[in-house]
Structure 1
Amino acid sequence: MLRQQDVGHRIVVRRIVGIREGRPLFTDALGDLIELSESHITLATDRGRLRVPIGEIHRARRVPAARRPTAGAVVALELAADEAWPAPVRGQLGDWLLRSADGWTGRANSALPVGDPDRPLAAAIDAVQRWYAERGQPAMVNTPLPLAAPVGAELDARGWAARPPVLVQAAPLAALPPAPAGRTDQPPVELAGAPSEDWLGIAAGRKGGLPDAARHVLTAVEQVRFASVHADGRLVAVGRGTVTGQGRWLGLTLIEVLPEARRQGLADRVIRALVDWARAEGATHAFLQVEQRNTPAVALYRGLGFTTHHTYLTRVAPV
């Protein structure tokens, strides 16, 4: 059976899910054990968090770790992503980052617990809650998994909620196809160093407003490009690309196509244009963040060659 020293390791669980003709029905789950209590276990699986009551477990054991990025690689990508989406108000708790942007997006308004907070874990979470309370905001923590599994377990014990799982996906730029040669029947993808008001309008519609802090998040990056596609004089598709992480990473954000212009390959063309720009800037890899439940976007990125580097959950303190 599992023991506390198995927490943080990869396990396989055979669970009982029903009875048929007097015989138990089983299903298997594979993932990282992030919590073990007297009543249940919690796994971080490729499909999100899975909570299994102890009474349903038929058999469970540790298995060899899957080939995955090292902790250092996860930290490096998380820091590159933070650099690409910079909150205007920032603090530190040892190595942990504290970020606030008037509540605009979870990424810019959550603590990032990578590294050593320079105090016991419980005290660190108490300090995070005080920091956000001083700013009149709910405390949130962005937990990369499995790296921050111990943080997640402590937040579980405190009753923090979890938003839907997010996939952090990555691909070598060399493996991504370049933008196709221009066609006379398709509008061009235009890249600019600053967003137009129409571009910002689409971003505001997607993110539910655009406070001053949002403009900082979008523009306060040294290497940034805003992609636009116009059709019949109207902006119909946008995207944003940044180069961060010591020039290594292209970050793709706010890839958006208006409903009436979808299924024409515009998102694909926006991404490829930003990839070409980043290659010229010396970047070697690309990353993006997408909710696991956004299946159309996940399928688009898979078709371009992106795979999941790691996942994260945004945790929200109880009111």
Structure 2
Amino acid sequence: MEISSMGRLEVRITTADVGKRVSVRRLGHTGVTQEKFTDTVGVLTSWDDGVLVITRRDGERVRIEESSLVAGKVVPAVPARRRGPAASYEELARVAARSWRPVDGERLGDWELRAAGGFTRRANSVLPLGDPGIPLDDALAFVRRWYGERGLPAYVQTATGAVGAQEALCAALEARGWTREVTAELWTGALAPVADRAEGSGVVLSREADAAWLARYRRTGVGEVALKVLGSGASVWFATVPGEGPVPAAVGRCVVDGRWAGFAAVEVAPELRRRGLAGAVMAALARRALEEGASAAWLQVETDNAGARALYAGMGFAAHHAYHHYREPQASGVVRN
């Protein structure tokens, strides 16, 4: 926290710092002692009418009365040290998008509009990696018309917690009545430790998702469009651990794209969980990705999936950034993540 040469806390941020990452300290209640100070770090997304709004790394928006501030300063855009392979948000966003391609799309400036018949939000949302080329309200109106013409609710996928992420866009969407429905995180890690795990025997790899693989995959509505999405990517591999019956004990998917291997759709039969099958699937896929020249790994995990988060942390993965899906006001229809 900023301290003057006289040893006093100082507020060294102004409205001109909107859009920057800041650290502030405030009183919990007017007049209480120092023990009640609260610190907040995030992007200053607005400062209007005596109220600051700071968007934290996980997307949470914190409203702070200007009168409660006791200290504040601009801080570096990201912490000096971060676990996992070095990568920018934009690089990872583009790699992730290439691994889960829609069947229909259109460009609006630097925004990519994606549709796939409603199969997952990731393939049915806008990926805004820059300027749409027109004012925001006009861009959002275009987005709503575009998805409406396809019988789909409009979603915008945003990110927080990394350089180049979209805290300001999140705030703008919320101010316009868009609702954040899902928050997840993209995690990264080194690929070799995943491949070096003892698990991996008995896993069958294939270039296509066959009927048995799909039987274990828990998504609904896996039709022709979904199969196209699942099969999209530079180099796609499907892993299967055979079970005692026609339905596999476990499955997984990996897309190799340059230095990156992206893991997804890791599913294990409920009665067989915590027996190392998910690790076996990922180890087998990681070994194949290493053979194709990849060295780094990424995956996406929802914030409330405690079991998966513990598994991936044990493999050396760590969160790189959070991402969110914002739904248009008063939209109808349901799309799973």
Q: TM-score range by the shorter chain?
A: 0.7 to 0.9
SS at match of 1:77: helix
Tell which deviates more after alignment, 20-29 or 303-312.
Answer: 20-29
CA distance in 2: counterparts of 1:220 and 1:96, whole angstroms: 20
- The structure where helix makes up a greater share of residues is 1
After superposition, the Cα gap between the structure-2 partners of 1:41 and 1:300, relative to the gap in structure 1 and judged at 3 Å, is: farther
1:45-84 pair list within 5 angstroms: 45-54=56-65, 57-65=68-76, 66-67=79-80, 73-84=88-99
Residue from 185, 208, 215 that aligns with 1:167: 185
Are 1:13 and 2:56 an aligned pair?
A: no
The partner residue of 1:196 within 200, 205, 210 is 210
The DSSP-based 3-state class of the residue aligned with 1:283 is: coil
Within a 5 Å distance, the mapping from 1:266-305 to structure 2 comes to 266-305=277-316
Q: Structure 2 residue aligned with 1:226, among 238, 252, 257?
A: 238
Matched with 2:142 is 127
CA–CA distance in structure 2, aligned partners of residues 56 and 237 of structure 1: 55
Query: For the residues of structure 2 that align with 1:208 and 1:181, how far apart are their CA atoms?
Result: 29
Distance 1:130 1:286 in 2: 36
* Cα distance in 2 for residues equivalent to 1:276 and 1:72: 22
CA contact (8 A) 1:229 1:235 kept: yes
Unpaired segments ≥5 residues, structure 2:
1-10, 331-337
Deviation at 1:166, TM superposition (A): 1.4
Matched, 1:144 2:163: no
| Residue equivalent to 2:7 | none
Task: Identify if the C-alpha distance between structure 1 residues 46 and 295 changes in structure 2 by more than 3 Å, giving closer, same or farther.
Answer: farther
Code of the residue aligned with 1:25 in structure 2: it is K
* Cα separation, 1, equivalents of 2:43 and 2:306: 23
Match of 1:315 among 318, 326, 334: 326
Gaps of 5+ in 1: none
Distance 1:17 1:88, change over 3 A: same
CA RMSD of aligned residues (A): 2.7
1:297/1:33 CA distance change after superposition, 3 Å: farther
TM-score (norm 2): 0.83
Between the aligned residues of both structures, percent identity stands at: 37
Cα distance in 2 for partners of 1:60, 1:297 equals 38
Count of equivalent residues: 310
Question: 2:104 — aligned with what?
Answer: 89
Instruction: Sort the Cα spacing of 1:213 and 1:201 in 2 relative to 1 into closer, same or farther, 3 A.
Output: same
The superposition leaves residues 207-234 of structure 1 with CA deviations (integer Å, 9 ceiling, x where unpaired) of 3332322111101334111111123244
| Residues 102, 265 of structure 1: alpha-carbon distance in 2 compared, 3 angstrom cutoff | same
Higher strand fraction: Structure 1 or Structure 2?
1
The 3-state SS of whatever aligns with 1:31 is strand
One of 187, 194, 215 as aligned partner of 2:227: 215
Cα shift at 1:275: 0.8
The separation in 2 between residues aligned to 1:180 and 1:100, in whole angstroms, is: 40
- Looking at structure 1, the residues matched to 97 and 272 of structure 2 have their Cα atoms a distance apart, in angstroms, of 31
Q: 1:11 to 1:280 in 2, by over 3 A?
A: same
- Distance in 2 (CA, whole Å) between partners of 1:21 and 1:75 is 43
TM-score by length of 1: 0.87
